Every structure is written in C-alpha cells, then in structure tokens.
Structure 1
Amino acid sequence: MTAVFAAITYPAPAVWAQGVSSPAAAPVGAPVIERILVEGAQRIEPDTIRTYLHVQEGDLFAPGLIDRSLKDLFATGLFADVALRREGGDLVVVVVENPIINRVAFEGNKRIQNEDLIPEVQLRPRAVYTRAKVQEDVRRVLEVYRRSGRYAVAVDPKIIELPQNRVDLVFEIDEGPATYVRRITFVGNRVFSDSDLRGVISTEEERWYRLLSSSDTFDPDRLTYDRELLRRYYLESGYADFEVRSAIAELTPNRESFFITFTVTEGDRYRVGTVEIETSLEDLTPEMLRPGLEIEEGDWYNAEKIEDTVQNITERVGSLGYAFVDVRPRVQRDRENNIINLIFDVREGPRVFVERIDIQGNVRTLDEVIRREVRLVEGDAFNSAKLRRSRQRIRDLGFFKSVEVNNEPVVDKPDRTVVTVEVEEQSTGELSFGVGWSSSLGAMVEIGVRERNLLGRGQDLSARVSWAERRTELDLSFTEPYFLDRPISAGVDLFAVERDLEDESSHQLRQVGGALRFGYRYSDDWRHDFKYTLQRQEIFDVDSSASLFVKQQEGIEVLSMVGHALTYDTRDSRLIPTEGYRFQIANDLAGLGGDARFLRTDMEASYHYPLGDELDWDPAWVFSVRGHVGYIFGLGKDVSIRHRYFLGGNNLRGFAASGASARDTATGDALGGNWISDASLEMRVPTGLPEELGLGAKVFTDWGAAGTPDGVPENLMDHDVSLRGSVGIGFLWSSPLGPVNIELATPVLKQTYDEDELFRISFGSRF
C-alpha cells in the first residue's frame, strides 16, 4: 500500500497528535479539506469509499486520521493498492481495485475430485480476489492432499486476466506420488513384539495388496489416534505405568515415504490387590453394589474393566433411586509387589441437568445416528460415567476418524450443562477381492462390496459373490441397527447357493431364498437374535449309482423355519482370538408352512487362554478349546438329508468331509445323522520365524461322534456311534487375503469304512 502525504506543515502539531480536526479548534490558517476526490474506482461507488474515511470535507488535514483511513481501506480487502495525497485543498484517494473472480478451477488433480476440493477453498466466483486469500486456499488444498497421504504435492495458483477487471483463478496441482509409510518401528517394547503392536494401531506399512486402502499412507491425525490405541492396549493388559514417550514421523528426502517410530515405556505389569467400595450415601451399603464389579482380586489390572465397573455401579446406584452420583476409582500402587489396590468411591455428585445435546462435525451422518448412541438425553441428571460411555459407543460405530464428547456449563445456570459431541467423518465403504483354494471347495474367487453407513443412516448394506469349483454363492444383506428407533437390529438376507456334493453323497444341492432377522443386545457381551428363513431347496443331478436313500431325496423341498440364538461372547477377536470365551445356544423350528418339519438344537462353546501371560512365555502361546453338540428330530416325518449333521472335514480334521458319518453300505454315500458331538483342543505356538511373515504354528486334537438318520434300516448302513479322534499340526498365515489355515492331521481312532484326509487348507478361523 502507498500513502503519499508528505511535506505538509502544521502550525500546531500538538493539536493534530490528539486527532483534533474541528476547524473551530484549529489554529488560524490550518489547512482544511475542501474536496475529497476518488480516482480509480470502477465497481465500487466513490461514496462507498468515502464512508471508510475518518475525515470529511471541511475537516482538517489530520495525519493521524488520514493514516487510519488508509489502513481501513486496505482492511476491506477490496483494493490491491491505496494512496492518499493532498493537492491544494483536495484530498485525493487513489485506489486500485482487486479483481472479481469469474471462475475457480483445478487442473492436474486426479486422486481428489473437484467436488472434494471446492468446499475447502474460500474463494468463489463473484468474490473479490486477494493474494492473502489465495495463499490461504493453497495451504488448504495442500492440507487436503496431505490428509490423503500425498506430501509431495505442489499447488501453483495462476491468474488469467479477463475484461472488466475480472480474473479466472486456476490452481495447477502436481499431485506427486502417494507418501506411504515405509516402516513402523517401536523402541522400548519388551513384552509385546513389533508385530503385535503393529496389529494394534490403525496405521499400516506399505504393501502392494493394500491398493484399496489408505491405512498405509501417512496421516498425522491417525498417528495421534494410534498413540491412544497403544495406551489403551497396554492399560487393558495390566501395564498401568505405560507411556508413549514420542511418535515421530520422518519424511524421506524424496518426500515419498515416512518412517514412523514409537518410543514407549512399558513399565511393570500389575495385578489387582484388594477391591473395595466406599460410599457416603445414606441407606446404600457396599454389598449392594458389589455385583457390579467387573474386576476381582488377583486379576491383571485392566483399565477397561475398571471403566465398566464404574458404569455398572453408576447404573446400579441410579436404579436404586440415586439420580446424582459420582463414582471415582482410586488407585493405590504397591510398586514393590506390582499390585494395585482399587477403591471405588461412591459419593453424591453435583445436581446438574443436561439442558441440550449439540452434534457437530457430521456432514454425511444424520444427527439421530449419533444421538441414539449417547447415554444421556435432554433433562437427564448429568452423569460423567454415561458421558464416557457415550464417547466409546460413538467411536465403536466406526464411522468417524475422531470423536470428542464434552460438557460445558450454561452461563447464569449453574445447574445446567450442555453436552457437545464433535466428530470427524471417515470413509465407510469397503470393496473386497479374494482368491484362494480350499480342500472342500477347490479354487475360489470372491468379490464383495459393503457400505456400513448407508446414506448416513447407520444402515449396513453388503453384496458378495463367490465362485468355487464345488460351490457358487450370491449373498445380499441389509441391516437396520435401530429398527423403529429402538435398539433392535433388523435385517433381510437374500441368497442363492449351489453346491457340488458328488464326492460325499452323489448329488448336487441348490438353495435359493431369503431370511428376515432381528436381534437385541442385552449388554456388550450378551446378544439374542431371531430369524425367519424361507428357501427353496433342490437336490438334482443325482448319480445313477447313488444310494437309494439319496435318490429318494431328489426333488424340491420348501423350507419355512423360525429360529433364535442366544450368544455370550467376550473374545478379543473373532478371526484369531487369543483370550476370552464364547457360548451360544440356538433352536430352529421348521414346519410353519413348507415341506420340511423338524426341531433342531445346537449348543457351542469355545475358550481361549494366553499361556504366555501366566508362564512368562512368548505371547504367541495360546490354548483354545471348542465344543459343539447338536440334535435334530422330525415332526411327523423323517429329517431330510439336507438338514442332517455330517462329521468330518472342518469339524473333525484328519477325516474327509462327511468322512466319519453313517454311509450306505452298498454305495458308500454319506447319509448323515440326527445328532452330532464334536470338540477340539488346540495350542498355538510361536514359530521363531521373522514376525513380518505373519506365520504361526499350532498343534491340535479333534474328537467327535455322530448318530444315524431316520428311515434307513441299520443293516443297510455302515455306522458306528463310537468316538473318533485325530491329532495334527497346522500353520496359520496372516496373508494379504485374510488368515489361511494349512493343516495336516491323521486319525488315531476310526472305523474301517471312514474316509481319511491328511492335508487340509482353508481360509478363515475355525474358532
């Protein structure tokens, strides 16, 4: 900016220093502004420019006021240059207007589309162009690319001048290569290996098979989240003194890769000593609250279980009629013995009510999807435990990159508070592709697509198609997690499956149908699901040499079935669990319409225990046990081969699929049975190989027995309900396409007509 206002002499400078411009107060002969002339204005009216001046015609030429006028004109952002000068009795204001933006365009952007960049820049068509705003927009575009993992990006703003003082603003973008995370290392970890900790954090190392994922590109926000994930993981494992000292991301000189280093201090592992409850509330004794304890003396210290205990006690106290309560866990460390004594202090909390709940930051996700996870509603007594629980429930949705839930007091209302939920959204769509081979199915290809937050409503829609040598399957599924605005999940499934069972029972099976389901979660561990299934089942292409009892089943059967499953699950992982247990009991009733009529009951339980924790071994030592029993009986008619139990294969390794089931004496076709009992003991052991290979080993033994079918004379069957057993070894590979099980097993207890299978490979986890 330029101010030409020199060589003006005043007889009374002390008066001008005070900003006095009134002619009445001025010395005799002081210069007075006769006219204010505006030059250079094109779009902006001269009178509009005069309104920003601190002097008017008839005022004195006061340097202080004119300097303020100059600064205010620049502050409008309307002008590229401003100059004020005196010509005799005239004050001349010379302006150079900033141009008007005609169009904002982006060139060179391929990875990020225009519709994603436009909301990030503040300049718009018909807005006034300023250099400061352009530089700010360049910074914003760079930040967008860096959030997507591209730190080598360059943004060059170009101006194309147009008539009538208009310009086109073009951001020329050189995206450069993606900035991947080349390596993640940990310093200071002794108990958990680098491989274990990499599985905890959300950032992943660059791999060729992560083409559809952004987790291996560097994101500083994700790095902050990873620090919290590490802290939570250690605190849940008993390391109460754990600390992430630093998380450093180093960019390589070519700006193409990051090396991330986490420096941690694990500290000692603590067990829980005494667990006490203290309360000052009238008529409330510790014994009344003790059922809410999630942690007991002798357990490993677990911060999550302490939080669950606080929540349980708070809810229990609330159910007893105490609306305002504050439960504070006090921790007393005994560092010499590595023991933490816990005291849950239950006291009366401040009488504060929730005035309102504000949701911020959600662009796509509807407010109601977030609000229904908040354990407080307007008018409720404020509860800090419920606030913390709300934060965790919203994070568990998986829709948001970050979640913050806080409360602030209301001005002039000490008994009111406002709960603010601030979220940052992330992508919830998934595209999966897999290829592989299975002993039971042969070569296989699978493609799936899933959206976990459909239209921002929290609904889950998925479609999957798989082709295999012995099975073709198409599945379409939709789930509404809050049916009729209640915490009840409801969904519909459509499916079509065709299976080749020639090797087992000399026929092929086609199933087409759908299911309606709904479920209710009683707690974080207990869940109850109900389901109605309607499907058309067809047995076709029966071999001419097949068993007579298989030929009798040829044709179409319509299945109309209702069922339920009650599940208790505390496992730490569904794919490769290392700790926890699962129990499920399920019943199915067929006969409400359709051709099939039967009642089926299944019970299954599994338990996983990390031996490394107790014996100071490698954490890879994990003991698992699984058991299953099932029984089905016909209602007025025999049970079809479509619904019977078959022993062998996945449920009895060392035996072929259906290899230990009752079979036709003449043809050898497996006929199945009306009951089954099978169990497995398994020990996962470390291999000593580099952790980056993701290869684990195991030893196991399987045992089982199965019954015979109805309607088949015993003298025409090879059958024996005696126990079968096998032992074996296996390898578990955490491959790019998911966990792969490679197993070798041999029977140790069998019948002469049973069919063996030494080698078996499958995708996924059995437990």
Structure 2
Amino acid sequence: MKLKHLAGLIPLLYATSAIAIEPFEVKDIRVEGIQRTEAGTVFSYLPVRVGDKLNEEDAAAAIRALFSTGFFKDVRLEMQQGVLIVVVRERPSIASIEINGVKDFPKDTLSENLKMVGLADGRIFDKSALDKAEQELKRQYVARGKYGVSLTTTVTELERNRVSIVFNVVEGETSKIKQINIIGNETFSEKELKGLMQLDTPNWISWFTKNDQYSKQKLSADLEVIRSYYLDAGYLEFSVDSTQVSISPNKEHIYITINISEGAKYTVSNIEVSGPEKILSHKEARELIKAEVGDVFSRKVMTDSITKIGDRLGEDGYAFANINAVPDIDKEKHEVGFTYVIDPGARAYVRHIDITGNTKTRDAVIRREFRQMESAWYSASKIKTSKQKVDRLDFFSEVNLETLPVPGSNDQIDVSLSVKEKSTGNFSIGAGISSNVGLVFNGSVTQRNLFGTGNSLSAQVNTGKVNKVYSVSYTNPYYTDNGMSLGFDAYTRDVNTTSTAISSFRSSTLGGGIRLGIPISDFESTTYGLSAEQTKLTLFENSTLQLQKFVDDFGPTTSNLLGSVGWSRDNRDSVIYTTEGTVQRAFVEVAVPITSQQFYKLTYEHQWFYPISKTFTFFLNGEAGYAEGYGGKPVPFFKNFYAGGPGSLRGFNPFSIGPRDINNNSLGSTRRLIGNAEVLFPLPGMAKDRSVRLSAFVDAGSVFGQGLSASDSLRYSTGLAITWISPVGPLKVSVGVPLNKQSGDKVQPFQFTLGSLF
C-alpha cells in the first residue's frame, strides 16, 4: 500500500495534496536508489525517525530536507506495511571539466574559480552553479571590453551517473572607445575636459595603458574628476545630468555621451566660524581657512580647510572632531557664504596600541619607534610620525595604521598597526653589471634585523674592474634606550683606475672604525666616528707627474687616523617611494695630525621633494664638496672629488668632469658642485605600482680647484630615467644628452646600474 507519491518539484511541496493521508507509525525506514551517497547520510538529513507518527505535513518537510542537500534530483516517499521507503535519484557527479578557447585568463585560475562555485571533478553536478559560472565568465570578459564574447556549454551524460562539462569560448576582439562626447559645456572646451579623463579614444600608447577600453568604474571616476574640476573653479551647481554608453551592432566600437549642466560661477560672500572657543579660538580657526571673501568658490580649498582644522584639533587629542562647512547660497547674486561649524567632541586618549603581522620582528623593536604612547592623549602628528618611523625601519613591505573608536566609549581609541614582514636577511652569490664599472661579482651575508632585534650585521664581497670591496659591519640602532646607535666597520678596498676616465693609479686600503649616533629629534641625528686607514699606492708608466710627486713626497704607503662628524635631517614621507619631504646631510672628515697626512673634507647634500599632483613629484638635489690640506700638506689625490655618470651628471662618462692630465684623463679636484632637478612620475597605466618610476631630469655639475674655476668645468645634461625594483635587483637606466659638451669631454648617453651597484 502506498502512502503517497510526491514529485520532486519544489513548488508542489507547498501545494495542498488532493489525497487524504492517514497518519501512521513508522516501524522501519529503507533507502532505495543510492549509488554514491551513504545511507547514513540520508538518515542524518531525514527529519523522521523510527517510532515517529508520519503525516502529510511531515512527509513534505522530509522531502524538502533531502532536496536541500543538493545530492538528489528526485525524491519520493512510499509506505509498505509500516515501513517508510525513501526512493531517491542522485544528481550526477562531474567526471571532467574542459575549457577551450580561453586566452585572456590562465586556465588554472579559471579552474580554481569554478571550484569555488561548486564545479570541479568529483563534485555533484548542479545546474544552477553552471549557470552562475557562465554569467560570471561573461561578466569578466565584458569588464575587459570584450562585448562580443561567445560562450557555449555542453553537458554530456556518461555511464555510472556522471557528466562531462565542456566550455567553448570565442573571445572576440576587444571593443574600443570610438567617440566621447560632452554636451552642455560652455566654460571649458570639450578637449580640456576630455584631457581630465582616464578613458580615451585609441592613441599610440593605448596598447599599454588600455585607456581605450570602457569600464563603468573608470567612467564613474572620470565623472568625479570633471565634477571636482568644476567645483574647484566655482561652479557650485554643476551636475552630470546623464551618461549614455552605446555599442555598435558589430560590438567593436563604444560611444560615450556625457550630458552636464555647468550652472553659474559662485564667489565667497562671507566666512564665519562657530564652535567652543575654549578649545580652538575662532581667530585661530579662521587662519586655517585659506578662502577669503571675494574669492571664487573652490571645494578643494574648503575641504583642505576642514582637514587643517581637524588636524589642529587632533593635536590636542580631539580625535572625533566633526567640522562642517554650512553654505548660505544666494542664487540671484551667485554668492555663497560659509559657516564652519566646529564640534570637537570629547578629548580622546589611546587605550591600546595593537601590532599584528610581525612574525619575526620583536614587538619592542616596533614599539620603540612609536611616539604615541598608550594611556596618553591622542595626537594626530605623533601617530603620523610613528607610522613614518616604522616604515623607515625597512623591515616591512607594508605598514598600515588605523585608529579605531572603542565600542561604547566616546573618549577612547585603539591604534592598530599591521605590518607585512619582508626578508631582511640573505645569503647571495651573484653578479651585477654597470655601464661605468662593467661586470661585478658579489657575495654577501646580510641580516638587517638580526634575530628580530633590529640590529644589523653584514659581510660583503664586491669585485669589479674599478672597485673591489670586502667589508664587515655591525650596527645596533638602539645601543641605549634613548636611541643612541653604535656601529663597527672593518674593510679593505682596492681601486684600479686604469680602465676609467681617471688618471691611472692603483690603491689598496685596509681600514676599520667605530661609529656613534646620537638622535636630536625624530628626524634629526648626529654621528661621530673614528677610523684608521692604511693605503698602499701603485703608479703606472702613464701616471701623471702630480701623482708621482705625491708618492715621492709621502712614499707608496700612507696611514691616516680619521675623525668624522656627521649630521642629517630626514622628514621624507617614505624612503622607498618618496613624494614629499626633505633630506639634509653634512659630513666632516679630518685626518688627525699625528699621521703623515693632514687634510679635511666637508660635504653637504640637500634634497627636496614636492608633490605637484597625486602622481607627479618635483625633486631638487644639491651637493657641495670641499677639501683642503693643512700644516702645509696637500689633500691626497685618492681623496679627490669626481663627477660624471649615474649619481651626479648623467650623459657624461663617469668621473670625467674636471681637471685632466696630458692624456685627457680626469685628475679629480678639491671642490665639487652638483645640482639635479627631476620630475618623477609613474609609468603610464601603472600608477599604483611602486616598483617602477620614470623621471625627466636636468643635471649640472662641476669639479674645480687647482687653478680651474667652477665655470670652467661646469657641464649640463638632460634626459629621461627609469627606476625599477626588479626581481634580480634594483635597476636604474638613464638616457642623457649633454647640453654644453666641450672639446675633450667624454660622453655616454646610455647608462645603467643593476643589482648591488644601485
């Protein structure tokens, strides 16, 4: 006797059965039709047990429960003499998945994505998952501008209740933006507005930037850029009325039409400040607002002013300050007044500083860089400084800092710093190449974060035609708790100039020293050093008379005890990808008169970074060097200054600027001036990639003295350069063109350094 046959269709489960069912007691349960699924699995999902009294409602609930597992495509319940029989028909399993015609995506990546939606070998086949995968794949192609993509899916039934799935994809060509029209503009030309947009019609660099491929996200960003452009120019009522994106019948071309309303240009009629003066006086707040009555309205000026007021309140601990610029618009006069309403909120202090991600670096190494303390009043500048100092450790590839309100409190915040460790130690044997010193073999053992303590230990070997250096260095940046550093160096250096633009000689130097660093402030420090050097000189037949006279006067071996004092100030926003800030360095080295040499050297360097825009940075660098002997003794020629090549004057041969001998080889000299001006910018289409950076530069430099004035040897050059942090090491390439090449100058337009020479 059958109790009921229920079809395996979900909608019918909610319908009222036309058959009256007498409830009965379940004496036993039997499962039929299973092949892969264990009977225990069915029992675990079945909400009916032996001894239960089953009615029509319970039967419908049981069928729903089994269908919801996704294992079955048909479920029926039958009853024979008190035995409940569960008859199922299993969904087929996936025997194989094949993807054909895909070129834009790696097949391994597609297989992983299919697996995430439930399509993989051995999984139970679900038609809804297949439909979802098809739609997602098409969406990915559309996002890449391939609107003509064709996708067909074939499902083939196999023996043992299995299926094979084949995706056949015809990618088609990428649809290109054929035309962009802007309607409603009167103040600014269409060309000017289109120049603000990232999207563009095809041009000579579109193959790289992909800016001729439509993207909804890119269009939204472009519309916001245009809106900001108008609002910053005073058009307070500007609006984007509509955008139309159409595609040609052959799906090869895209047409974009943007309809805008400019409105009238507004000027500022009045500026007032409202808020508690005890916390921030209205006079001081007004000084932070850069707009003046009569100025053309600018949203940028307004938002910058709000930011400055918020930062100022943050210095006193008001982390939750809320500043609103309330407008008073006069549409007839086209004027707008603003009342800056300042609500400082409660003064907040830092409850906890949480550090995560430092699997190797000790917590104390990071915390000692913090200037914001726990249980102290919140300070926006101290938090910013703390992040900068952790970033300067150069132990992490990512440093992210957040301030989080404490739930249930209006006067507490937590500071969360998350870091991503990068390798700070390595053992390497390899090679580098440079246009000025040729092939260089190098080996090194370096650990900049020894056992996670922040201490640095390195042993390096570098060999080349010009320089051979073997050195061991150790530095403890926190020798004392207040930040004094202590370091030791031992080195041997062999210089051979026979294959360079320098007058021929060879020097072998053995030395060692001790360094002590004393911090003045967070971004300023002094260093003191004492080192001893012994230098052996070898001259050649073509060595100049000046070099021969030095060896005749002082012998082929000289010893020096050198004292040094250095000072530096560095407030760059990042040491890896600098966009703003300055660097100043001054260094004095003096030969103590108890040795055979008596001289001193002074060097000064000043760098300035200024952000022109979000992606362009202006960079100025100036260097000066001065050396002089005392006690009637000259400066050793191997301590002379040189210029030319990467790092000083690109486009000219390395070390080639300045006085020369009779063989036209550089002698170097006791005075040096270097100036560099650059505009730094990302590679087009790679604004978020901080491993590559381009620059346009102008260099100037002079090495003089010994009867030669600064103007006599002053040279200029200009060109382009690229810096790339490549997998095999940092790479710098420049193409420089001398602007005032003189007779006898040695030029080298293409120059590069790779690897350890960076």
Report the TM-score when normalising by structure 1.
0.55
Closer, same or farther: CA 326–374 of 1 in aligned 2, 3 Å? farther
Distance in 1, Cα, partners of 2:373 & 2:466? 53
CA deviation map 1:14-72 (0-9, x unaligned): xx9999xxxxxx99x77666654322346766566456445566766633331221111
Distance in 1, Cα, partners of 2:406 & 2:224? 30
Closer, same or farther: CA 161–409 of 1 in aligned 2, 3 Å? farther
Match of 1:550 in 2: 547
What SS is found at the alignment partner of 2:31? Answer: strand
Q: Does 1:328 align with 2:323?
A: yes
Q: Does 1:629 align with 2:615?
A: no
Distance in 1, Cα, partners of 2:389 & 2:234? 24
Q: Does 1:505 align with 2:533?
A: no
Alignment of 1:33-432 (within 5 A): 35-41=28-34, 46=39, 49-50=42-43, 52-53=45-46, 62-87=55-80, 90-97=83-90, 121-122=115-116, 129-131=124-126, 135=130, 138=133, 280-282=276-278, 285=281, 301=300, 306=305, 309-310=308-309, 312-318=311-317, 326=321, 328=323, 330=325, 346-350=342-346, 410=407, 413=408, 415=410
- Tell me if the contact between 2:397 and 2:421 (Cα under 8 Å) persists in the aligned partners: yes
> What is the CA-CA distance between 1:595 and the residue it aligns to?
10
CA deviation map 1:728-753 (0-9, x unaligned): 78555889986633233257xxxxxx
What SS is found at the alignment partner of 1:632? Answer: strand
Closer, same or farther: CA 699–112 of 1 in aligned 2, 3 Å? closer
Alignment-mate amino acid for residue 584 of structure 1 = Q
- Tell me if the contact between 1:519 and 1:530 (Cα under 8 Å) persists in the aligned partners: yes
Closer, same or farther: CA 85–238 of 1 in aligned 2, 3 Å? same
Q: Does 1:603 align with 2:600?
A: no
Distance in 2, Cα, partners of 1:236 & 1:401? 35
- Tell me if the contact between 1:42 and 1:97 (Cα under 8 Å) persists in the aligned partners: yes
Q: Considering only aligned residues, what root-mean-square deviation do their CA atoms show, in Å?
A: 8.3
Number of aligned residue pairs: 682
Q: Does 1:676 align with 2:651?
A: no
Q: Does 1:584 align with 2:584?
A: yes
- Tell me if the contact between 1:647 and 1:704 (Cα under 8 Å) persists in the aligned partners: yes
Closer, same or farther: CA 310–635 of 1 in aligned 2, 3 Å? farther
Alignment-mate amino acid for residue 314 of structure 1 = L
What SS is found at the alignment partner of 1:745? Answer: coil
Alignment-mate amino acid for residue 503 of structure 1 = A
Closer, same or farther: CA 268–56 of 1 in aligned 2, 3 Å? same
- Tell me if the contact between 1:608 and 1:625 (Cα under 8 Å) persists in the aligned partners: yes
Distance in 2, Cα, partners of 1:498 & 1:567? 31
Alignment-mate amino acid for residue 719 of structure 1 = G
CA deviation map 1:627-681 (0-9, x unaligned): 54322346887543333224677868999876663455x666543333334568x
The percentage of counterpart residues that share the same residue type is: 18
Q: Does 1:566 align with 2:568?
A: yes
Closer, same or farther: CA 313–109 of 1 in aligned 2, 3 Å? same
Q: Does 1:724 align with 2:712?
A: yes
- Tell me if the contact between 2:199 and 2:211 (Cα under 8 Å) persists in the aligned partners: no
Match of 2:727 in 1: none
The counterpart of 2:640, out of the listed 644, 658, 665, is 644
Distance in 1, Cα, partners of 2:736 & 2:488? 31
Distance in 1, Cα, partners of 2:220 & 2:635? 54
Match of 2:429 in 1: none
* Structure 1 unaligned spans of 5+: 8-15, 20-25, 430-434, 448-452, 614-618, 685-693, 708-717, 748-754
What SS is found at the alignment partner of 1:280? Answer: coil
Alignment-mate amino acid for residue 636 of structure 2 = S
Alignment-mate amino acid for residue 742 of structure 1 = V
Distance in 1, Cα, partners of 2:713 & 2:233? 39
Distance in 2, Cα, partners of 1:573 & 1:268? 45
Closer, same or farther: CA 84–474 of 1 in aligned 2, 3 Å? farther
Distance in 2, Cα, partners of 1:427 & 1:483? 24
Closer, same or farther: CA 364–641 of 1 in aligned 2, 3 Å? same
Distance in 2, Cα, partners of 1:760 & 1:473? 25
CA deviation map 1:419-443 (0-9, x unaligned): 79899999999xxxxx9997xx499
Closer, same or farther: CA 626–96 of 1 in aligned 2, 3 Å? closer
Distance in 2, Cα, partners of 1:263 & 1:468? 64
CA deviation map 1:301-329 (0-9, x unaligned): 568965763464134323xxxx5661526
Alignment of 1:428-443 (within 5 A): 441=436
> What is the CA-CA distance between 1:83 and the residue it aligns to?
1.8
Match of 2:185 in 1: none
